[in-house]
Structure 1
Amino acid sequence: MLYYRHFFPFKPFFQWLNYDTVPKPSKSFLNREICWTLMDDTFIRFQSYRTLEEFKNDMIRLNPAKFDLGAIYNIRPKDRHMVRPAAFIPVAKEMVFDIDMTDYDEIRTCCKGADVCNKCWEFMTVAMKIIDVAMRDDFGFKHILWVYSGRRGIHCWVADERARKLNNDQRKAIVSYLEVIKGGMQQGRKVKLPNTLHPSLSRSFETIQEHFRNLVFESQEILSEPENWEKILTLIPDEGVQARIRQSWEDSPNRAPSQKWAELLDTIGNEIGQRQALENFPRDIMFQYTYPRLDDKVSTNINHLLKSPFCVHPKTGRVCVPIPIEDCEDFDPSSPPTVPQLVQELNRYDATHATSGDDSNKLQDWQKTSLRKHVEYFERFLKGLSREMRENKLKGR
């Protein structure tokens, strides 16, 4: 309760969900589904609120373990029982992406499951870079909010009006456009791209080349241990080439990863003339080991729930804070504040300024803590949205 009473940024959060230039609640806020997950795992869906104060009071009263945002419906979700089920229709929601580190478990070696560290977090950095530029350059979206999930991944909220109004088929088309890695855990080679890459994939490949060597050679040590390099060798579509490289690496296991990779490139390059299946194999493996892995169901279904920014992750206790895209390479997943940390910071600030006579009593509590920089970034994101909404209103007039 301390967090939602003292630290949650209610006013900017309302401004976001309201999608209007006036403080009066709009249909975007009134008809938005809020889903509460309580401390005892009780799941309360299809909640909606008439005012910010009502939303705030319910949040403090319920003290949720977390809460998710759903779609904006044609009527208030709380009133859905007043109409036929078929008449309760989702009409808008941000285009969202969910990237979870567990989807990289077959290739990362430093951590597994819910554990993350700065080494494997580079996968998230690559994903942010590739998806962000695709949304901006290929689809023309401007208002993109990246958020740390609180534990092992990232969420992306594309808030442009055009993005919010996409139907499920249009969302599927965007995911299909982005999707490169296909197949479950049992499938070995998951990437088979054409000889000539689409311009968007050529651009993505530049980002992949920036990070591949550090990820594969250094942080994940894929070519340092037999059990790891074997995963790459078994993907080579020629058993003879596989065997030659395997034998060479086993004979000199301590060679630098860069030397092993160079040998793989040379060996395959010499065989391409006789074995067409080897063409583009190294490039496709680079994609398989670094390209974003999307949870497509989250993106393609407009009424899918997604954990809200600024809620607290129930397992780690960390706040789900926004990540500026320009700072993505420096983000540390262990850095977002926890509730006990925020309480300590608030108490320290109040004790320090108790007798100073400054304007500290006019500040909101989150402004006195390390949460401040995250909320202020969120407010800058909202300014861009508000500016565009005002311009659209003027054009409409």
Structure 2
Amino acid sequence: ITGPCDGLGTEHVLKRHRNLSPTRPLPHQHPRRRLTLPMAITERVDTSPGKPPLPLMKSFLHAVDVEVMLTFYRRLYPFKSIFNWLNHEHTPTRLFTHREFAFTLQGDIYLRYNSFNTVDELKKQVCQLNPTRFEIGPVYSARPKDKKTVRPGAFNPVQRELVFDIDMTDYDPVRTCCSGTDICKRCWAFISAAVQVLNSSIREQFGYENLLWVYSGRRGIHLWISDKEAMALTDDQRKALVGWMTVIHGGKESSKRLNVRLNSRSLPPSLQTAVDYLATIFSEIILTDQDLFSSEEGYETLLEFIPDAQAVKSLRSKWSQDPSRSSEDKWQDLKTIVKKSEKGSIERLNLTAAMEDIILHYTYPRIDAEVSKHRNHLLKAPFCIHPGTGRVCVPVDPERIEEFDPETVPTVSQLLKELDQVGKAEGEAMEHHSDWEKTSLKPYVDMLDKHALRLMDRVRQDKRELDVSW
């Protein structure tokens, strides 16, 4: 247990947190009764001409009701599916029993280094603590719950999914429709592009196959890679891998934030493939939808990438004299200068490279490198509820990412209403641990189950190959 409750037992934390007396029943011990669901409020975008863009994602729960969350954990949370995904087998292994789980309780009470022998133990503890969310950490050399009984040098992370986090706030410099925690269908196109680029490049460059993409519940997406080779990576190896994949770096000048050329005008093959794809969506996202170069500030950022001083002077003069020129017009102006340059000349090669750098700067995935570098980094578990939106953190099919709309993701209140409707139709049938099958959560759980089955098949195949080798 860490934070203000360091050194206190779970029961003490519960009493202090909920102000419960020893004889007062915990919420999960109350008889079932119909819930009063929190309201979700949503503002829609007015896309009529001349209207400023309003964020779609304004949904939120006024308060996450304790009983609402408890009912979600008891009846809807797919604990068995999570277990199969983390464990890679039906019988508990060290991938589960030595795995860290961390819980965030109401009031920002944070409980770390929890571990469980079975999935039933995990569910029991979650229902007892009723956290606002919980996170998944690495597999340790000893059971995390025994951390205080193990000498420090003998307690280390030994396995961990390779994880990536893409957050929309990192795109604030290149999006005009929203900023901060707000998100809409328009700026979700940046996330969609990131998923398609990373999903392809990770498979092709590193050969990883077991990739699980999970919507974060509001403004981002997480990637969990469960291949055994990925799980065995050390911190140094993860740092090197992420460094290789990172294109956007910090820096005052936009043109100096890129790390792509490696002292050459040519891009590495992997990045060239990414540019070829991103060039097909650059016009729609950057030029038409976001219209990023319409303002003086916008086109001055664009000009930072152009190495030819004469070209910069000519374009700046033309654009300042005609402020009505759109981003599409300005991009065409740059293309015209490239076409007028002599084929094969240094000037053309430099200008072509600059245009590729511009495409990468505005559309290439912006990875939160710190999340990926360290095995002991905790990441929110799939199917948790985002406290700000009430939406479930559901798996996403990368092959259909362009169709994904964050606004259609189920909220906890929506799911419980669906359960109420099913209960009325079935005459208030008894609760079941897989009630998610009766709700709009089902296709998302099915997606995780299919992913877990592939992991289990891989383990069985490895065991068969090992038996044959003997």
Which TM bucket (shorter chain)?
over 0.9
1:243 aligns with 2:313: yes
Between the aligned partners of 2:235 and 2:241, the Cα distance in structure 1 is 10
Between the aligned partners of 2:433 and 2:223, the Cα distance in structure 1 is 30
Between the aligned partners of 2:346 and 2:466, the Cα distance in structure 1 is 63
Letter in 2 for 1:207: Y
Which residue does the alignment assign to 2:138? 71
Query: What are the residue-to-residue correspondences of 1:12-27 with 2, within 5 Å?
Result: 12-20=81-89, 22=90, 24-27=91-94
Match for 2:425 among 330, 341, 352? 352
1:212 aligns with 2:285: no
The TM-score with structure 1 as length reference comes to 0.93
* Secondary structure in structure 2 of the residue aligned to 1:302: coil
Query: What are the residue-to-residue correspondences of 1:41-52 with 2, within 5 Å?
Result: 41-52=108-119
Match for 1:318 among 391, 410, 413? 391
Letter in 1 for 2:434: Q
Match for 1:34 among 101, 125, 128? 101
Between the aligned partners of 1:125 and 1:149, the Cα distance in structure 2 is 14
Contact persistence 1:237–1:277 (CA under 8 A): yes
Deviations 1:132-185 (A, max 9, x none): 11121111111100000111111000011111111112212221221111224x
Match for 2:407 among 318, 330, 334? 334
Between the aligned partners of 2:375 and 2:346, the Cα distance in structure 1 is 48
Gaps of at least 5 residues in structure 1 are: none
Which residue does the alignment assign to 2:120? 53
* Secondary structure in structure 1 of the residue aligned to 2:291: coil
Distance 1:187 1:251, change over 3 A: closer
Between the aligned partners of 1:27 and 1:363, the Cα distance in structure 2 is 25
Contact persistence 2:265–2:350 (CA under 8 A): no
Query: Displacement of 1:35 after TM fit?
Result: 0.8
Deviations 1:4-31 (A, max 9, x none): 11110011111112122x3x32111010
Contact persistence 1:126–1:207 (CA under 8 A): no
Between the aligned partners of 1:45 and 1:26, the Cα distance in structure 2 is 20
Letter in 1 for 2:242: V
Gaps of at least 5 residues in structure 2 are: 1-69
* Secondary structure in structure 2 of the residue aligned to 1:50: coil
Distance 1:360 1:133, change over 3 A: farther
Deviations 1:235-261 (A, max 9, x none): 434554323212212333333432220
* Secondary structure in structure 2 of the residue aligned to 1:201: helix
Which residue does the alignment assign to 2:164? 97
Between the aligned partners of 2:430 and 2:114, the Cα distance in structure 1 is 35
- Runs of 4+ aligned structure 1 residues displaced above 4 Å come to 268-279, 359-363
Bigger Rg, which one: 2
Query: What are the residue-to-residue correspondences of 1:125-204 with 2, within 5 Å?
Result: 125-184=192-251, 186-189=252-255, 190-191=257-258, 192-193=260-261, 194-204=264-274
Between the aligned partners of 1:270 and 1:238, the Cα distance in structure 2 is 13
Contact persistence 2:88–2:452 (CA under 8 A): no
Contact persistence 2:291–2:326 (CA under 8 A): no
Which residue does the alignment assign to 1:9? 78
Contact persistence 1:129–1:207 (CA under 8 A): no
Which residue does the alignment assign to 2:147? 80
Contact persistence 1:271–1:278 (CA under 8 A): no
Percent of counterpart pairs with the same letter? 40
Between the aligned partners of 2:200 and 2:462, the Cα distance in structure 1 is 24
Which residue does the alignment assign to 2:37? none
Letter in 2 for 1:36: F
Deviations 1:19-63 (A, max 9, x none): 22x3x3211101001011112111111111112111101111111
Match for 1:305 among 378, 402, 421? 378
Letter in 1 for 2:299: W
Letter in 1 for 2:408: S
Q: How many residues align?
A: 391
Deviations 1:299-341 (A, max 9, x none): 1111111111111112211110000111111111222111111
Please give the root-mean-square deviation of Cα atoms over the aligned residues, in Å.
2.1
Letter in 1 for 2:112: R
Contact persistence 2:142–2:154 (CA under 8 A): no
Between the aligned partners of 1:16 and 1:264, the Cα distance in structure 2 is 49
Between the aligned partners of 1:371 and 1:328, the Cα distance in structure 2 is 18
Between the aligned partners of 1:90 and 1:59, the Cα distance in structure 2 is 23
Between the aligned partners of 2:278 and 2:359, the Cα distance in structure 1 is 7
Q: Which range moved further: 382-391 or 262-271?
A: 262-271
